[in-house]
A and B are shown apart, each in its own frame.
Chain A
């Protein structure tokens, strides 16, 4: 088949797709059962990566001469990408106590991440789990850590790591991310019987993917490209711009859809006698991933050149086709309607 394969990773992904089709067909597992176990794996990966992050932060801060800061930055990136892969889930335990926001405060048009994190750096209040828990979501989670690890305002300042107070803050925020990930994972397993006993969660789960594709296309890609609105290109409204991982993060979210959403989705489509549409979605998803695989991790440099911008436009077209297929054709075939007050009432 004429797939535009350009690297090895998407080939594995296609195998995954075929495998998913054959195993689910064989076992006839309900879609929600598959989603529940797949996502348990996704949350488990987040627990492991955030545990590694916490430990690297501790080791580095305990003996900064023996460990490089890069070990912490790399652990941040791995944990952050594990979060991106499960970020599409917007129901269930993630809704408790704003955990999604605690993990990633975004968008941040007022630069609250820098302001709130600076308050901790400049103040002399004790840094501990309880104090941090009581503060703004902007001073928690991956963006606050990213600010401390990557932003020149900190890296080139007097409190650059391994400054003691900055280290304390990095350790406290990493520990809190790990706590939230652990809670998420255990709540997800408790949520299992409720989730699998109610048929409406089939549509809830598809709606989560629909919503994620809209955000990917409109907020995470089109907005920094300056499409719509004021028309000005602005890399700072993308997520993970400080670490230069905006596109890598988009790729991780799509990869998460492929790994944790697609198998259950194909099962659902098969049960509704819509297998071809489901497979079409899997192929388009893969096409977008193939393109992303050939692109750099950062978005900012691509916004500065014509060639770079053109590659973003092609990615936009991929995401738009993907979103249109799921949110238009497939949603309407499945009878999924997004309520105005039901989804955003008051």
Chain B
């Protein structure tokens, strides 16, 4: 059996996935009889292998890994560039790089290093025309949070930055008005000298921020009910409803609310408390938030609690709980279902009362999924 035949023969077997994905990019690049480009929708995620090496992986809709690309640092979040075949993936806090990936070629076409005195937090978002990239960053000599603005038309040249009133901007998304950036401000100060050590736990000032992407003006600012509720991740619905997830830096024997809901049209901000023992079962830690644009559902993952919650994002009602160990990334899939990944390995498709594993390798998926198909991501 030649190598290509072997690959074809093993595609159906989950245990062979690691082999396929290792050979993925190389096989694709050298295989003249293969597809000219990846034409199907893909989902991107940062991933580590069992040896601790870092990759960006592309997942096909059936859960198989299309290809994976080695990167120098552990990755975190990503974003699709509108009107272009590009996805940008960010290194994890305190990250020094982001990679621009041509998802049709399956290749990293550019790697941008953070400018002096800055590191990335692991998230970014594009303007609606795909021209400008907004990246959350730490100016570590001052500790001030910044949004660095890059021009994707000019080889991702740094244009400037928006200074934020606060520390630790983490996830950033674009409001459906195309003008407003929605930012989860974690409030936690870090410095590369101290790696990931949190330097200001006693006097954190986290917030959910809406800022104008052209002027940098703060349009709305909402603060969590406790100063140690670090606002880290969020998603925005087409109606402008923001669901944000917190990580609590206070005592583990307390169980404060961890999910915030903002109706940006009315500036009505509230927090969603779950009934006990469901609230305590989240272990004070939310990893990622994914709204399904085709339904009223939002998925909220809690890896320490080994569970994802599905909520009605309009009413805040808790609909169901999907139990997956070390559940990490979430993304709306078709048919009111969500795709979930696990840090212990595995990609799952979860809908009412079931989560079916659709990928079987031992790759350690990081917390976020980024779709090339903008309708689902």
Question: Any chain A CB within 8 A of the CB of B202?
Answer: yes
Contact check: which of A92, A112, A138, A346 meets B252 at CB < 8 Å? A92
Contact B202 A97, beta carbon cutoff 8 Å: yes
Interface 1/0s, chain B 111-129, versus A by CB < 8 A? Answer: 0000000000010000000
A3 contacts the other chain (Cβ, under 8 Å)? no
Closest Cβ of chain A to B247, distance in Å, is 8
- Contact indicator A98/B367 (Cβ below 8 Å): no
A273 in contact (CB, < 8 A) = no
Q: Which of B35-43, B59-67, B190-198, B310-318 binds A?
A: B190-198
A305 beta carbon closer than 8 Å to chain B: no
Interface members, chain B 37-51 (any A CB < 8 Å): 48
Partner of B328, one of A112, A195, A340: A340
- CB-CB contacts of A84-110 with B at 8 A, as 1s and 0s? 000000011101111001000000001
Contact: B197 with A341, CB < 8 Å? Answer: no
| B253 contacts A345, C-beta separation under 8 Å | no
Interface flags, B359-374, vs A, CB<8A=1, else 0: 0000011110000000
Determine whether B86 belongs to the interface, using a CB cutoff of 8 Å to chain A: no
The interface of chain A, by Cβ under 8 A from chain B, is 91-93, 95-98, 101, 110, 112, 136-138, 191, 194-195, 337, 339-342, 345-346
Interchain residue pairs A-B with the least CB separation, the first 10: A340-B343, A339-B326, A194-B253, A341-B343, A340-B364, A341-B303, A342-B303, A341-B328, A342-B304, A342-B326
* In the complex with contacts A339-B303, A339-B343, A346-B202 CB distance below 8 A: no
Distance in angstroms between the alpha carbons of A195 and B251 in the assembled complex: 12
- Could you write out 26 A-B pairs with CB less than 8 Å apart? A92-B252, A96-B250, A96-B251, A112-B193, A137-B197, A191-B251, A191-B253, A337-B325, A337-B326, A337-B344, A339-B304, A339-B343, A340-B48, A340-B326, A340-B343, A340-B344, A341-B303, A341-B343, A341-B365, A341-B366, A342-B304, A342-B326, A345-B328, A346-B76, A346-B122, A346-B366
Q: Which residues of A contact B122 (CB under 8 A)?
A: 346
Rounded to whole Å, the gap between the CB of A289 and the closest CB of chain B is 31
CB distance from B302 to the nearest CB of A (A): 9
Residues of B contacting A341 in the complex (Cβ-Cβ under 8 angstroms): 287, 303, 326, 328, 343, 365-367
CB <8 Å contact, A346 and B253: no
Scan B72-100; emit 1 where CB is below 8 A from any A CB, else 0: 00001000000000000000110000000
Task: Indicate the member of A93, A101, A110, A345 with the most B CB atoms within 10 Å.
Answer: A345
When distances are taken between beta carbons in the complex, the residues of chain B under 8 Å from A191 are: 251, 253
Report yes or no: B201 in contact with A97, Cβ–Cβ below 8 A: yes
The CA-CA distance from A341 to B93 in the complex, in Å, is 14
Contact B198 A98 (CB under 8 A): yes
Query: Does B264 belong to the interface (CB within 8 Å)?
Result: no
B103 at the A interface (CB under 8 A)? no
Contacts of B344 in A (CB 8 A): 337, 339-340
Q: Does any Cβ of A come within 8 Å of B306's Cβ?
A: yes
Q: Which of A95, A98, A342 contacts B343 (CB 8 A)?
A: A342
Decide: A345 and B285 in contact? CB cutoff 8 A. yes
Given A97-B202, A337-B344, A340-B344, the answer on whether A346 and B303 have CB atoms closer than 8 Å is no
Chain B residue numbers with a CB within 8 Å of A101 are 197
- Chain A residue at smallest Cβ distance from B250: A96
A339 to B365: give the CA distance in the assembly, Å: 11
Pick the contact of A137: B194, B306, B364 (CB < 8 A): B194
- Please measure, in the bound complex, the distance between the C-alpha atom of A96 and the C-alpha atom of B93, giving whole angstroms: 21
Residue of A nearest to B123 (CB): A346
Binding site for A on B (CB under 8 A): 48, 76, 92-93, 122, 193-194, 197-199, 201-202, 232, 250-253, 285, 287, 303-304, 306, 325-326, 328, 343-344, 364-367
A341 vs B198: C-alpha distance when bound (angstroms): 17
Chain A residue contacts of B328, Cβ below 8 A: 340-341, 345
Name the residue in A98, A110, A337, A342 with the highest tally of chain B Cβ atoms < 10 Å from its Cβ: A342
A110 touches B304 (CB 8 A): no
A237 vs B106: C-alpha distance in the bound complex, in angstroms?
Answer: 41
**Inter-chain contact B252/A95, CB cutoff 8 Å:** yes
Known: A194-B253, A337-B325. A342 touches B306 (CB 8 A): yes
Question: Complex: how many Å from CA A112 to CA B199?
Answer: 15
Which residue of B is nearest A340, CB measured? Answer: B343
Additional 15 contacts, C-beta under 8 A, given A341-B326, A341-B365: A96-B250, A112-B194, A136-B194, A137-B194, A137-B197, A137-B199, A191-B253, A337-B325, A340-B328, A340-B364, A340-B365, A340-B366, A341-B343, A341-B366, A342-B306
A136 to B326, CA, bound (A): 33
A108 to chain B, nearest CB (A): 10
Assess the A98–B197 pair: CB atoms within 8 A. Answer: yes
Task: Tell me, rounded to whole Å, the shortest Cβ–Cβ distance linking A91 to chain B.
Answer: 7
Complexed CA–CA distance, A137 and B189 (Å) = 13
For residue B52, give the distance in angstroms from its CB to the closest CB of chain A: 10
Residue of B nearest to A193 (CB): B253
- The residues of A that contact B76 with a CB separation of less than 8 Å are 346
- What distance in Å separates the Cβ of A146 from its nearest Cβ neighbour in chain B? 19
Instruction: Tell me which residues across on chain B come within 8 A of A112, comparing CB atoms.
Output: 193-194
CB distance from B320 to the nearest CB of A (A): 21
Contact (Cβ within 8 A) A345 B201: no
Bound CA–CA A342/B301 (angstroms): 11
Residues on A with C-beta less than 8 A from B252 are 91-92, 95, 194
- A166-B195 Cα distance, complex, nearest whole Å: 29
| Docked CA distance A319–B319 (Å) | 48
Contact A346 B367, beta carbon cutoff 8 Å: yes
A91, A136, A339: the one within 8 Å of B325 (CB): A339
* Chain A positions within 8 Å of B365 at CB level: 340-341
Closest beta carbon of chain B to A39's beta carbon, Å: 15
A339: B residues at CB distance < 8 A = 303-304, 306, 325-326, 343-344
Report the bound CA distance from A278 to B14 in whole Å: 36
How distant is B13 from chain A, measured CB to nearest CB, in Å?
24
**Contacts A96-B251, A110-B193, A112-B193 hold; do A345 and B364 have CB atoms under 8 A apart?**
no
Is A345's CB under 8 angstroms from B197's CB?
A: no
Task: Collect the chain B residues with CB atoms within 8 Å of residue A136's CB.
Answer: 194, 199
Residues of B within 8 A of A92 (CB): 252-253
Contact of B92 among A97, A98, A346 (CB under 8 A): A346
Nearest A residue to B341, CB-CB: A341
Residue of B nearest to A116 (CB): B193
In whole angstroms, how far apart are the Cα atoms of A182 and B286 in the complex? 32
With A97-B202, A137-B194, A339-B303 known to touch, is A346 a contact of B93 (CB < 8 Å)?
yes
Q: How far is the CB of A196 from chain B (nearest CB, A)?
A: 11
Residues of A within 8 A of B198 (CB): 98
